[in-house]
Structure 1
Amino acid sequence: MTAKPDLSSLTELLAIMARLRDPNDGCPWDLEQTFATIAPYTIEEAYEVEDAIARNDMAGLKDELGDLLLQVVFHSRMAEEAGHFSFGDVAKGISDKMIRRHPHVFGNVSADRPEAVSTNWESIKAAERAAKSASSQDDVSPVLAGITAGLPALLRAVKLQNRAARVGFDWPDKRPVIDKIKEELQELEHEIEAGTAQTTAEEFGDFLFVVANLARHLKLDPEDCLRAANRKFERRFTAMEKILQSEGKALTDCDLATMDEAWNQVKRQEKAG
């Protein structure tokens, strides 16, 4: 039988946040915060969790998960002060959702393979979305309802495309997606040459949307791919700068050809291992 977790640390954290938000002798900075001012920190902390995972930094992950938990506690405390809900309500809500979405564990549904679990999960979520959409005033297709607007754009694009694909609105394989990318690139080139800033931006968005669709057909996460490309650029740029410094050259004194030569040297070194 699984032992009950020690919740004393969580109780202490909730008490600390209540103290920080005490209107009489709390922290001035914490007291002036709102949902809107804290939201950027919440997003940042989630990305720092992802970064610690990518670096396989378990000590860092422990710290970053604590920072992310603080965000949940902070938002919950502000909501409780305003009479909306408490941290306990948040925990109860997610507990109920997990039980509802795992009928193969907490109910009598059979699902002995991950694929069956995913199918059940999506079916339950679809029913939840339909019920939510029926009572919502948003003019959004129930198929696409519930995809958070605040998600990173590439991630949201893939989620929108996945939803549309479930009802058959999708290319059969990656080949027509690649053709569509070429088409969108031609349209973008035309707008760059003859269009306005607004039409160029629109075509650039269309181009990125189809690129995200190609990632989906390749079963790749475009956010992960771009983050990896960012890390690669940082690594290579830093190595390039060190090469130039070893030659007594500063970046500000180098032309593009000189930097490009050092850049290619870094690439050759990486490929050589």
Structure 2
Amino acid sequence: MTDLIHDPHGGMPRLLEIMRRLRDPQTGCPWDLEQDFASIAPYTIEEAYEVADAIERGAWDELKGELGDLLFQSVFHAQMAEERGLFSFDEVADTMSDKMVARHPHVFGDESRDKSSDQQTLDWERIKAEERATKAQGGALDGVALGLPALLRAVKLQKRAARVGFDWPDSGHVMDKLHEELEEIRQAKNREEQFEEFGDMLFVVANLARHLDIDPEAALRAASGKFTRRFRQIEAALAAEGRRPEDSTLEEMDKLWDAAKLREKIQRK
């Protein structure tokens, strides 16, 4: 197996063997041996975000490495599962293959491909609902993972509820509800009430994003990126004068912010 480990073209078998060696109780890496599903899960989520970040930045030279990091997370979990006698990596791959074949009868079965992407989405959701039924997940909200990012989970829960008719008829009603939630935050009497009402407001914001067909995670990332760009321009303008933000006033920084905002508008024209 030594030759395989050092084979630059060893592909998937090489990676699986490396993972097996890292977890070898006698000769493996002490850090890798200490890990379990719970300790590795945060890294799995982090790697998925790094893949998304590379795509969003168009950093195609980085994407291969980030996808490799994410693949390694699957290999790590599968190796720990195999050690417990739960399942192997091949079974993971077979499960995914079976799922894709079952969910694409218009590609791998007898159904016609002559349908819109919207119809395919509806068919996909129908098949998923049938799969949940076989797993005794009878409730409309069953199977929405607790570990999803909060905004994404809110949208998924709302989509599930909407499929059974529990939904606002249009975005106008959602905006009215948002104003209502803002007023309830203003009227909150203590920290506990503020916490609850703020959560309600964010849930409505996620619902509004769904009605407007906007990805709230992507929209918030874009807003954070915009804030970062403009604040760095404030820092650069102050640095040109030999100063830092803490050496200036809020009024000065507001003017520099407005100037940065204007420059961005001009550049977009």
Coarse TM-score class (shorter-chain normalised): over 0.9
* Counterpart in the other structure of 1:138: none
Partner of 2:264: 270
Which residue is 2:193 aligned to?
199
C-alpha deviation, 1:223, in angstroms: 0.5
CA RMSD of aligned residues (A): 1.2
The answer to whether residue 128 in structure 2 is matched with residue 125 in structure 1 is yes
CA–CA distance in 1 between the matches of 2:220 and 2:201?
15
Which position in structure 1 is the counterpart of 2:239? 245
Q: CA deviation at 1:146?
A: 0.6
Give the CA deviation at 1:239. Answer: 1.2
Distance in 1 of aligned mates of 2:142 and 2:218: 24
Q: Calculate the TM-score normalised by the size of structure 1.
A: 0.92
Q: Unaligned regions of 5+ residues in structure 2, if any?
A: 1-8
User: Structure 1: where are the runs of 5+ without partners?
Assistant: 1-6, 135-140
Q: Which amino acid aligns with 1:235?
A: R
Aligned with 1:22: secondary structure? Answer: coil
Instruction: After superposing the two structures, state which structure 1 stretch, 124-133 or 10-19, moved more.
Output: 124-133
Give the structure-2-normalised TM-score: 0.93
1:88-237 equivalences under 5 Å are 88-112=90-114, 113-133=116-136, 142-191=139-188, 195-237=189-231
Cα distance, 1:8 vs structure 2? 3.9
CA displacement 1:18-42 (0-9 Å, x = unmatched) = 1111111111111111111111100
Confirm or deny: 8 A CA contact 1:42 1:71 kept in the other structure: yes
- Classify the secondary structure of the residue corresponding to 1:133: coil
Alignment of 1:9-88 (within 5 A): 9-88=11-90
Q: Which residue in 2 is equivalent to 1:4?
A: none
For residue 165 of structure 2, give the secondary structure of its aligned residue in structure 1.
coil
Could you tell which deviates more after superposition, 247-256 or 27-36? 247-256
Match of 1:137 in 2: none
Answer whether contact 1:144 1:163 (CA < 8 A) is retained: yes
**In structure 1, distance between residues paired with 2:23 and 2:40:** 14
Equivalent AA in structure 1 for residue 204 of structure 2: V
Contact 1:133/1:145 (8 A) holds in 2? no
Percent same amino acid among aligned pairs?
A: 59
Q: What is the count of residue pairs matched by the alignment?
A: 258
Aligned partners of 2:161 and 2:251: how far apart in 1? 46
For 1:200 and 1:242, how far apart are their aligned partners in 2?
37
